[in-house]
Structure 1
């Protein structure tokens, strides 16, 4: 928590993750990378790992809340979701084929994952609704060309299930936000059906965040959009200029939370990350007139 305060984070996440049957390979540098899923037929369902121990997850959340008390740093309950967890359990190409060849199996896997995550969501929102800052769910549903699957198919497959997942959070009065990469033009209207109030990280390669805010102002907030390429290779002055541009164009009226366009990874120099934070502190203040 002390680290979060020192580097300018307003909140930290505690993860409630269930992504079964992922296959990883270790690279030469020691990092692990997803390469495929294990479920290719109904016979492979027995390969699904047991869900994480919910008590262990809740104990971890409680420890974070205890440490965060009085610091001004919020604690966010962060859940993996159902679409990309199902996709990853099967593998990208096989998932796309299975949508047409064996939709029942796709739905069955999705429902297994949904049951686990609903149980976690209910437990968090019943016991800690007054303590957590908000609810975040991770579900990469888009690429640079838009939704991964046909919009009507997505609505039929995902929306009702997602409403079930998010129902405990909505009942508890918690703000719900989401993470998805990709082009958001087709995505935002679907998120509004779910009552989602914020989206991360609004990748600048695929999205004009200024146009998105103008179109969706008052309906959904935007997180991120500071290009990680700039954070990796840019100078501190270039980063400061970009942060100021974002804040000048997006801060008025609310609906923007500054941050990076994807995860802060090892290749980003700490001085550049801090340049973003310091520029946000310098230029992010509102001036009250009158």
Structure 2
């Protein structure tokens, strides 16, 4: 499943096409994806202007005039491609690898008209159909079941050493499990947690509470971890995400952060930390593979 950097990369790719554009037509080609579409899905979007495109954890949120929010989740294999009337369009994304177009998996097509008059087709393709789209009134978004129990965003100043210390204080759960708890921090996934913990020199198996202070104040370890989480995510976003299995950017190109992995999927290879000399190991935690260096992560 695409993680936060992949979703943010897609958001940035879609933003120039969506924001400010009038939705002139919506082609809903099936009644459901992972879940059924709202019965009035098309009617609530056509003829409305998209005011903003944002992200909450791994969800894309398109604010539509009139008070609705189009909530989109990519699932396992969902992706978008952008087609314009420009014969030589400038497509978003940093990497120019052509994307295959299997139209039998094109399930939703948004026809958009920009303020400049340029027309655009944004096509949602999802072979496995684990993604979904729904509409939620903006006023009820925070209390909606999808978002009500969601933790804080890991990007920005809200996540700092003090916050992590307060969240993890007294917790006996393994550190990696605590970081993946979406009720604490929303949007962190397996790949980037492994990478951030390696950078911070922290073992994924140690108790989460051992890096926090009893008072909830920042510690050296929680401050370092917060910084490494942000740095890891931001670097992955700038690289276009990590193209594992089905993930692609909005323009169909591949992300390349996987070429920078220090531990993820590197079992048996030398640790890349200068002076370490250890070997990357793989263990299973809560049914997921964890990659780390037992020599330098304590």
* TM-score past 0.5 threshold: no
TM-score, length basis structure 1:
0.24
> Hey, which of these two has a bigger chunk of helix by percent?
1
TM-score, length basis structure 2:
0.23
